[in-house]
Structure formats: structure tokens, C-alpha cells
Amino acid sequence: MTTAEAGAGARTAASLLQILWLASPALPVGGFSYSEGLESAVDAGLVHDEASAAAWLTDQLHLGLARSDLAVVALAIPAWRAGDLARITELNHWVLQTRETVEFRLQTEQMGRSLLEWSRQLGELGAGVFEQLQAAQLNPPTYPVACACAAASAQASVRDSLVGYTFGWAENLVQASIKSVPLGQSAGQRTLARLALEIPLAVDHALALPDDARQAFTPLLAILSARHETQYSRLFRS
């Protein structure tokens, strides 16, 4: 192996590790504390076992996430790399304007601010992410746009970054299923395996969406999220 090949391999490994880091449930942004309508779906009897949980999350992946937040991340990563602050601001506004409930808007704002604080705490180890987010003056940064900033610094491909982002989402929602349905750990792993099979298709869909096809229209999910805001008994944040 030549020195150049070794250097390229090290850069590839470093990029992969950063994407894995951003996808980790241990990232201190609070993603684990939200059920994104799932807890209300359980309360309404729409999700009640492993099969219905897997079907629910698969639909949410393709009909919700792929057409909205994933599409935003796909566009925001190259915008951060190009320093296109106008485009970044436009995408951030779109996320804020398309949250269908107060709960969903508070989630993206809280997680965005938490990622900003995470990058600040890293200091010089944060690859300039905090400085970029501060300079953009998004006030507040939404989570998809803030996470795209962190992913942009990794120099991984946009597709690999989206796969990592989506798997992190899937892990959090599967854990929410385990707690709220409830499911056993083995059922949770089978659900995660099913989602993993669907993630590449969802990512490719998000990458192919032009601006005028991006949307956040999931009426039933919005109704359930609104109900969750006043649900009598809740495990997850509202």
C-alpha cells in the first residue's frame, strides 16, 4: 500500500466514523425522548404489535421522512460545503414552516439547539461546525439543517450521510416502539432489520426530489401528534 492509498483510507475511515457518531443514539440531542406520533398511535390502537409497528414506521419513513427532512438534508449538505448561506436559510425556514404541530416544531428546534451546543462543547475537535452554525444566524437552527452542517464537515458522500441520518432516526423510533407498544428486544431488532432494508430506497427517493416536490403532508401523523400534546399519560416528550 502506498502512502497516498494509506492516507485516502484513513480519510475514508474518519468520514465513516463521523457519520456513525452523528447517527448514534448516544448523540446528546434528545432524539430518544420523542415518539413522533407513535405513542399516540399506540394509544389509539393503530399500533399494537410487532407487525403494526413495523408497518407504521415503514410508512412514516417513506411518506414522511423521505419526502421532507431527508430531502432537506440532501440539499443542505452541499449548501454548507459551498458556503451558500442563502440556500441554508431558505431550507431552515422551510423546515420551520412545514412542522404540522407545535410538538413537531419544538422537537426540531430543541434538537437543533442541542446539536449546536454539542458542537460548541467539542471546541477545536468540532471541525468548525459550531462556527459555521453561528455564522449562519439561523435562530433557531432546525435539526435537519444543523445535522447537515455536521455531516458536511465529515466529507462523506451525501448518500452515505443520509443513510446514517436515517438509521439514527430508525433506532430512536424502534426504541420508542419497544417502550410504548411494548415490544421485546428481539421484536425490536426484527423491526430495525426491516427498516434497514427500506432505508436505501427512501434515501434514493430523497436524493431525487426537486424543490417543488419536497413536502411535509402527513395528516394522520399530525392529528396524532396534536393529540399527544394533551395525552393523559405519556412516556415521551411533548
Q: What cell numbers appear for 173 in the block?
A: 423510533
- Which pTM value belongs to this model? 0.94
If you average pLDDT over residues 129-139, what whole number do you get? 95
Q: What CA–CA distance (Å, rounded) separates 150 from 196?
A: 23
Residue recorded with cell 442541542:
114
> Residue 171: pLDDT above 50?
yes
4 pLDDT tier (thresholds 50, 70, 90): very low
Q: For the purposes of burial, counting CB atoms within 10 Å of the CB of 97, is it exposed (0-12), middle (13-18) or buried (19 or more)?
A: exposed
pLDDT digits (tens, 9 = 90+) for 24-68: 988 999 999 999 999 999 999 999 999 999 999 999 999 999 999
pLDDT digits (tens, 9 = 90+) for 74-124: 999 999 999 999 999 999 999 999 999 999 999 999 999 999 999 999 998
Are 25 and 32 in contact by the 8 Å Cβ rule? The answer is yes
pLDDT at 99: 96
Are 215 and 63 in contact by the 8 Å Cβ rule? The answer is no
If you average pLDDT over residues 149-163, what whole number do you get? 95
The residue among 40, 68, 91 whose CA lies nearest residue 165 is 68
